[in-house]
Structure 1
Amino acid sequence: MARANGASSSWTVATIRDWVFVILGSGVILYGVGYLLARMGRVLLIVILAGIFYITLSPFVDRLALRWRRPWAVLVVVLSAVVIVVGGGSLLGTIMTGQIVSLIKKVPAIVQQLSTVAPGVLAWLNHNDIHINILDIESRIVSNLGKVSSFVVTQALNIVTHTIGAVVDGAIVLFVTVYLLLDAERMQIAVLRLVPQNRRDMLLAVEHTLARVIGGYVRGQLLLSAIVGTAFGIGTWIIGLPYPLVIGVVAAVMELIPLLGPILGAILPVILTFFGRPLVQIPELAILIALVHLLESQVLGPRIIRTQVGLHPVLSVLALMLGAEWQGIWGALFAVPAAGVLVAAWVAGVRLWRERVVLPSQTGPDPRISAARSE
């Protein structure tokens, strides 16, 4: 009996000690990561982007490598991705530029039309001491558009500098991604040689978790973004709203922001609806937004995103807020997969700790070991 009490107390002390080590170690790691991110934000962003592109493209390279040599597979996949991004971006940019210029030219007329489209709204606002001067708003918009154009001209050098910097960063990301795709297997073998034999399975499990969470999230988010953008573009075209391509592209880009994407993507079509046939188009747009939201949140979202990341919606919101506070739009984009990786690592660590610490201490030593010691 005394021996059982002693074993129980020693197990309790060991459990408390292990939890203290886990909490302190997690705090030290988080502090170190935060310190590095604060000092090396741009470099780490390039590395993170290259890693994400590597994880995203790696399955396609692996499939082609079964038939071709790996360098050729990497070349085909990377060139295809570059052609799709650059070619598609150029085509969409050319079409969108014309539509955006046309939209900007019509802004004064749209604002002036507000007085005839919604006289009841203006009367109600004036009745409640909320006075709106349409002519004043129109003159301010026209003057601000002139200021924007002059600002663009005066800041042309800064724009060119930032553009060149973005191109250089993109080239570095592309180079690192190609290098990772070419030498991933050799680097993996080199890292495994540095790890003890009994720890290699755990390291491979961590690598598999990272690839599954990050790669699945990126591929799923891109697919979901394309579907939502296409649905918004086709839907607004059927309704009869102007600039459906701009609406679709904006909705697709906004969808990349977790949780808030559908709300942000619906702002532009809602605004344009008020300047067309609002009595007819507003109900139609409401139905379209509801259908897209149901498609994104109830059908595609759970299957494409949540099953890949395995993150509770509350944690997703907290991660989104922290990411946006830390690095703005980039932080918001990558906050959810980063949180998914941390949660997966935490679950794996707790499971391993229970298997190697808690359960052995509860069950006691193996009887065969005790028998061998007594001989």
Structure 2
Amino acid sequence: MPEGEKLTLLFRRYFTAALAVIAALVLAYCIYRLRYVALIVTISGLLAYLLAWPVERLELRMRRQFAVTIVFSIFVVLLLGLFSSFVPILANQIQGLIDTVPTMVGHLEQLASSWRITMIPGREYLIADYWPDFTAMLEERIPEILANMFNYTQSIVTGTATAVAAILIVPLLTLYLLVDSARLKRSLIEFFSMSMRSDVERAIDSVNRSLGRYIYSRVLLALFVGVATNSASSTR
């Protein structure tokens, strides 16, 4: 091979590798900027993998849309039942904390009123002696405190809106993935040439089986830990 062709081939290889690295960096940056969207898609995909096995079993007896509706409805009912079992425990813990707050505040007030500090030999200072200075400083910082409270409230509202949107979008996206999974698979395979489609289909099936087994094992482990924790908390 002539020296010029070798240099051209080497340049093409390095140029292709550089383009691949740049594309990977751009993709990573886009995923970072859209990390909430990526998280929603990931959660929906995991739920779709989790519910795909019972849907496929029911699909042998009925249409896929009916199978998806039945399985997803049962999953929502079970999820609500599991969540409702944890609500009383959490409510009891919060109520216990609220009940102890007045006692803690009373102890702190007694401690503050009786705490004496000896800063100069022969003279003692009470915490109450510093109260006028504290209130004056508080009045000066009221605008800053209000601004921080506004920013904090805005962050809470934004986070709540994002969480509500995710709660609404995840079920819809999960239903879409369950109903149109076969069409999505065909569309993905059609991106490749005819000679590669059979290999791509086998690779997708292998990944589906491996990932499905992994997800089911982790879900069963999480359910076992959750049930054991709930049982231990309820017996206390």
Counterpart in 2 of 1:83?
A: 77
**TM-score normalised by the chain length of structure 2:** 0.61
Residue of 173, 177, 180 corresponding to 1:180: 177
Identity of aligned pairs, percent? 29
Distance in 2 separating the partners of 1:246 and 1:204: 51
Shifted more, 198-207 versus 72-81: the winner is: 198-207
- 3-state SS, counterpart of residue 67 of structure 1: coil
Counterpart in 2 of 1:69?
A: 63
Confirm or deny that 1:221 pairs with 2:191. Answer: no
- 3-state SS, counterpart of residue 55 of structure 1: helix
Distance in 2 separating the partners of 1:246 and 1:162: 35
- 3-state SS, counterpart of residue 195 of structure 1: coil
Distance in 1 separating the partners of 2:172 and 2:166: 10
Deviations 1:172-211 (A, max 9, x none): 1211111111111122223333322221123223323442
Residue 159 of structure 1 deviates from its aligned partner by 4.0
Deviations 1:235-276 (A, max 9, x none): xx4xxxxxx1499xxxxxxxxxxxxxxxxxxxxxxxxxxxxx
Confirm or deny that 1:166 pairs with 2:160. Answer: no
Q: Which amino acid aligns with 1:223?
A: L
Structure 1 segments unaligned to the other structure (5+ residues): 1-15, 111-150, 238-243, 248-375
Counterpart in 1 of 2:38?
A: 44
Distance in 2 separating the partners of 1:192 and 1:221: 29
Residue 77 of structure 1 deviates from its aligned partner by 1.1
CA contact (8 A) 1:52 1:214 kept: no
Q: Taking structure 1 as reference, are residues 102 and 29 closer, same or farther at Cα in structure 2, changes over 3 Å only?
A: same
Q: Taking structure 1 as reference, are residues 38 and 208 closer, same or farther at Cα in structure 2, changes over 3 Å only?
A: same
Residue of 91, 94, 101 corresponding to 1:100: 94
Q: Taking structure 1 as reference, are residues 233 and 49 closer, same or farther at Cα in structure 2, changes over 3 Å only?
A: closer
Residue 94 of structure 1 deviates from its aligned partner by 3.1
Confirm or deny that 1:53 pairs with 2:50. Answer: no
Distance in 2 separating the partners of 1:183 and 1:29: 29
Distance in 2 separating the partners of 1:90 and 1:60: 24
CA contact (8 A) 1:61 1:77 kept: yes
Deviations 1:320-361 (A, max 9, x none): xxxxxxxxxxxxxxxxxxxxxxxxxxxxxxxxxxxxxxxxxx
Q: Which amino acid aligns with 2:54?
A: F
Distance in 2 separating the partners of 1:246 and 1:104: 22
Residue 226 of structure 1 deviates from its aligned partner by 2.0
Counterpart in 1 of 2:113?
A: none
Q: Which amino acid aligns with 1:59?
A: W
Distance in 2 separating the partners of 1:218 and 1:22: 36
Distance in 1 separating the partners of 2:53 and 2:188: 21
Counterpart in 1 of 2:209?
A: 212
Distance in 1 separating the partners of 2:160 and 2:90: 19
Shifted more, 176-185 versus 191-200: the winner is: 191-200
CA contact (8 A) 1:74 1:182 kept: yes
Distance in 2 separating the partners of 1:83 and 1:173: 16
Residue of 190, 195, 215 corresponding to 1:193: 190
Structure with larger RCO (C-alpha < 8 A, sep 6+): 2
CA contact (8 A) 2:49 2:212 kept: yes
- Which structure: larger Rg? 2
Q: What does residue range 1-375 of structure 1 map to in structure 2 within 5 Å?
A: 27-28=21-22, 30-103=24-97, 105-106=99-100, 159=156, 161-234=158-231, 237=232, 244-245=233-234
Structure 2 segments unaligned to the other structure (5+ residues): 1-9, 105-147
Distance in 1 separating the partners of 2:235 and 2:159: 24
Deviations 1:17-42 (A, max 9, x none): xx989976874554233122122222
Q: Which amino acid aligns with 1:196?
A: S
CA RMSD of aligned residues (A): 3.8
Residue 163 of structure 1 deviates from its aligned partner by 2.8
- 3-state SS, counterpart of residue 102 of structure 1: helix
Q: Which amino acid aligns with 2:71?
A: V
Distance in 2 separating the partners of 1:42 and 1:246: 38
